[in-house]
Structure 1
């Protein structure tokens, strides 16, 4: 249900509950696999169900709805493929398509295990997806209005993600000193910030959270909070909807 026009400060309560739901869903997926006698490698048992980000996706969709986009313009379950430039199509986690305008495309990703391998995969996915859709727009494959791209990223708060990391290879040239002994949490923060600074995404949100029920949802970077993410959505939504009055 849309809350457009109502006065409220933020989505803080809904956001924190959605993050907690991520961990509840993961735990449920693991239990169901164990009940069936299925054994996955590492933390994969928690995520093979693919539903753990649904509450967060629904919350972001709700922000667009509250700004006035009708239900039929907000896609979370189907019709999520966009044409690409380097490949035929790419599926996103959330699309908003209104009056033949691609209003927004959002990716939601997380890392809760195998931090090294998963971090590299997430970086390659995020950069590639943004570059692909930006170029597809330039080549007039995505309608008349430049799409707003959002990237939501969450990493598990545990000792392995907090520990300093060390370069295990000998690169041909010096590594950016900001990565020297940076933990996976710090590397994630740098990654998300640079996605925004390089204008690959119009807004990024970076979250650290734990599976412990009483733990706090942490947003360590003031420039990448969910509140700022929502503010960027609101700005984009109002711009697009204002075109209807021209």
Structure 2
């Protein structure tokens, strides 16, 4: 059964609760990470969201498809040995799907370029691994789910430092980090580096405030996964 927007909303609320839980555990243990890092190093903050997305592939389990979403799940790379993905779906020796689930709370200026480089680099690396025959015979399906804090730091116009040597794409002029993430994921999907992506804007402690663009929404994500599930089901039943 396809997950509803209300279920995604609940998963985002659980994201905030998970962050608070990690911080509290570190306070009680006497070990506090710098800044807000302590809220995420425990690894539970995105569990509800990962569970929801992984469950979209559940109809394939009766065919022997495996859905992994906990522990270390490395997939072969091409430019590096391997990379861990948050959700990995496999059938025998074939990679059916791989999905990243990430978040950003605060530190927008410091982390935007890092997140951008990771998203682009991870996709390029795994596609080359597929082309090299390391991931099976069927083209894999790649997804990206991103939770972004809504606040002054992510919604106000970015004050870029320095002038680029050449004219930058005007679409980035007078844009916020939220808008830049929207453009990032929209273009990653359009250029087929990812089959689907989902950008969720949320205020601290709340559910989904906004899904900035239909092309990178929960609706588009679940529809794309449903198509992938039907495709794999057809292939298996035709064996």
Q: TM-score of the superposition, structure 2-length normalised?
A: 0.93
For 2:106, the equivalent position in structure 1 comes to 113
CA contact (8 A) 1:108 1:152 kept: yes
Q: TM-score of the superposition, structure 1-length normalised?
A: 0.90
Q: Which moved more, 1:116-125 or 1:32-41?
A: 32-41
Equivalenced residue count is 237
For 2:83, the equivalent position in structure 1 comes to 90
Between the aligned partners of 1:121 and 1:28, the Cα distance in structure 2 is: 26
For 1:36, the equivalent position in structure 2 comes to 29
The equivalent position to 2:220 in structure 1, one of 228, 231, 234, is 228
Q: Displacement of 1:29 after TM fit? A: 1.3
CA contact (8 A) 1:69 1:98 kept: no
Q: RMSD in angstroms over aligned alpha carbons?
A: 1.7
Q: Which moved more, 1:46-55 or 1:185-194?
A: 46-55
Residue 51 in 1 paired to residue 44 in 2?
Answer: yes
Q: Displacement of 1:11 after TM fit? A: 2.1
Between the aligned partners of 2:235 and 2:46, the Cα distance in structure 1 is: 32
Q: Displacement of 1:57 after TM fit? A: 0.6
Structure 2 residues without counterparts, runs of 5 or longer: none
Deviations 1:47-96 (A, max 9, x none): 1212211111111111100x332486000124621111100111100000
Structure 1 segment 1-246 matched on structure 2, within 5 A: 10-65=3-58, 67-70=59-62, 73-78=66-71, 80-213=73-206, 216-246=208-238
Deviations 1:106-126 (A, max 9, x none): 001111011012111111111
